Amino acid sequence: MPAIATHSRLATPRSTAPAIVAGALRTSAAEDTATFDRVGTVISMRRDQVLCFEGDPARYCFKVVRGAMRGCRLLPDGRRHVMQFLLPGDLVAFDSQESYRATVEAVNDATVIRYPRHAVDQLVQRHPRLGRSLLGKLCADLCAAHVQMLLLGRKNALERLASFLLAMSERNDEDDRIELPMTRSDIADHLGLTMETVSRSFTQLKACGVIELKASSEVLIRRREALQDIADAA
Amino acid sequence: MPAIATHSRLATPRSTAPAIVAGALRTSAAEDTATFDRVGTVISMRRDQVLCFEGDPARYCFKVVRGAMRGCRLLPDGRRHVMQFLLPGDLVAFDSQESYRATVEAVNDATVIRYPRHAVDQLVQRHPRLGRSLLGKLCADLCAAHVQMLLLGRKNALERLASFLLAMSERNDEDDRIELPMTRSDIADHLGLTMETVSRSFTQLKACGVIELKASSEVLIRRREALQDIADAA
DNA sequence: CGCCGCATTGAAATTAGTCAATACTCGTGG
DNA sequence: CCACGAGTATTGACTAATTTCAATGCGGCG
CA separation for the pair A35, A58 (Å, rounded): 21
Give the other-Cβ count within 10 Å of A129's Cβ.
12
Nearest residue to nucleotide C15 when comparing alpha carbons to its C1'?
A: A156
pLDDT of residue B133: 87
Cβ-Cβ contacts under 8 Å for A178 (sequence gap 6 or more): A165, A168, A169, A172, A218, A219, A220, A221
Residues of A in contact with B86 (CB under 8 A): none
CA separation for the pair B155, B162 (Å, rounded): 10
pLDDT of residue A35: 55
pLDDT of residue A140: 94
Q: Strand ranges (DSSP E) for B38-173?
A: 41-45, 50-52, 60-66, 69-74, 80-86, 91-92, 103-106, 110-116
In chain A, DSSP finds a helix count (H) and a strand count (E) of 7, 11
Q: State the smallest CA–CA distance between residue A109 and chain B in angstroms.
A: 26
CB contact under 8 Å between B4 and A149, yes or no, is: no
CB contact under 8 Å between B1 and A97, yes or no, is: no
Position B36, amino acid: F
Higher pLDDT, residue A133 or A27: A133
CB contact under 8 Å between A121 and B4, yes or no, is: yes
Query: CA of B217 and C1' of C1: distance in angstroms?
Result: 25
* Summary mean pLDDT of chain B: 87
- pLDDT, one tens digit per residue, over A169-226 is 999 988 899 999 999 999 999 999 999 999 999 999 999 999 999 999 999 999 999 9
Cβ-Cβ contacts under 8 Å for A80 (sequence gap 6 or more): A72, A73, A74, A189, B154
Higher pLDDT, residue B27 or A59: A59
Q: How far is CA B229 from the centre of its chain?
A: 23
Q: Strand ranges (DSSP E) for chain A?
A: 41-45, 50-52, 60-66, 69-74, 80-86, 91-92, 103-106, 110-116, 177-179, 211-215, 218-221
pLDDT of residue A174: 82
A to B CB pairs, distance under 8 Å: 180
- pLDDT, one tens digit per residue, over A37-78 is 668 999 999 999 999 999 999 999 999 999 999 999 999 999
Residues of B in contact with A117 (CB under 8 A): 1-3
- pLDDT, one tens digit per residue, over B109-153 is 999 999 999 999 888 888 888 888 888 999 999 999 999 999 999
CB contact under 8 Å between B75 and A120, yes or no, is: no
- The DSSP code sequence of A84-118 is EEE-TT-EES-SS-SB-SSEEEESSSEEEEEEEHH
pLDDT of residue B228 exceeding 60:
yes
Q: What does R_g of chain B's alpha carbons equal in angstroms? A: 18
